Amino acid sequence: HLSVNTFVNGKWLQNCYVVTNSFRQALIVDPGSDAEGILKLISELGVQPVAIMNTHAHFDHVGAVSALMDKFGIPFFLHGHDEKLLKQANLYKLLFGEKKNISIPPFWEDFAKRPDLLNVADFTVKVIHTPGHTAGGVCLVIGNALFSGDTLMPGGAGRTDLPGGDKAKLMESLQKLQELPQNYMVYAGHGKPFMLQEFWKNNYDQ
């Protein structure tokens, strides 16, 4: 039995998800900027984190990664094509008017070097490389939940005018996601959850 718990971070209202199973294990997806708040949620849930998984490396999604790695001694998964973005996260923060630096995680597990079907503790995660919003963007399927980062958003596909963006690649990624079961619940990087079939209907039905 999987449960998805949402924690909204900071001024960009970024969604961190703490996904728990019946063994009281937790996967942390996209820890944003508020490590203290995320730790409080984990404590309230009474679960043991087993890994951090990021859909991409924009600064508003990775700010709490280092603190959570230090606290729990768990691996951090990211697609290697976002290595540059991760290393330059503080530079991009400045461009968005944010002065306080984040701690850049020193190492991670590269999704690109692991199987598409990834077993971590008692979780099975399907990893789908979906470049476009960033070069290393991924979507994660856990049970019937699709964690789309900023690839799919409630109002349409993610932006391609930010560092790492590529409109043509995003279109290819959308085609890939159209092949998934339409009854998936989508948990995006920002905004409320929505059904995958609603996404296509609301944004792409002509």
pLDDT tens track for 64-100: 999 999 999 999 999 999 999 999 999 888 777 777 8
| Amino acid 69: pLDDT | 97
Are 132 and 171 in contact by the 8 Å Cβ rule? The answer is: yes
pTM beyond 0.85: yes
Of the CA atoms within 13 Å of residue 135, those in its CB half-sphere come to: 9
| Amino acid 206: pLDDT | 42
What gap in Å lies between CA 49 and CA 19, rounded to an integer? 9
β-bridge pairing 117-120 and 123-129 = antiparallel
How much is the average pLDDT of 178-185? 96
β-bridge pairing 123-129 and 138-142 = antiparallel
Q: Is 17 left (phi over 0), alpha (psi -120 to 50) or beta?
A: beta
| Amino acid 162: pLDDT | 87
